[in-house]
Amino acid sequence: MGKTATLLSPVQEGRIWRVRIVWANGAVHHFGKFTSEQEAINWIDAHPRLTKPVLEKEEEPSIPRNRVRSRRRFLNLFST
């Protein structure tokens, strides 16, 4: 089961806006210096991959069966 990678939200610090990033482990990071809340929101909207669920275990990419057979044929050329 996956969990959220991050939570992103615009926050104002004095006269600038920043993006608060709360990572899945609870760590908080403030990113960027934007002139408006809308500019910070636009940055958040441009980075949706940060809020996608993270897989618990990365799956190894599988080799298509036809590539495995081709490799066997190639190796067989040298085994005789």
21-52 pLDDT per residue, tens: 998 888 999 999 999 999 999 999 999 888 88
Q: Is the whole-model pTM more than 0.75?
A: no
User: Residue 19: which residues within 8 A CB-CB, separation 6 or more?
Assistant: 8, 9, 10, 11, 30, 31, 32, 34, 40, 43, 44
Gap between the Cα atoms of 49 and 37, Å rounded: 20
- Relative to beta strand 53-54, strand 3-4 is antiparallel
More confident of the two residues 23 and 78 = 23
Q: Are 53 and 3 in contact (CB under 8 A)?
A: yes
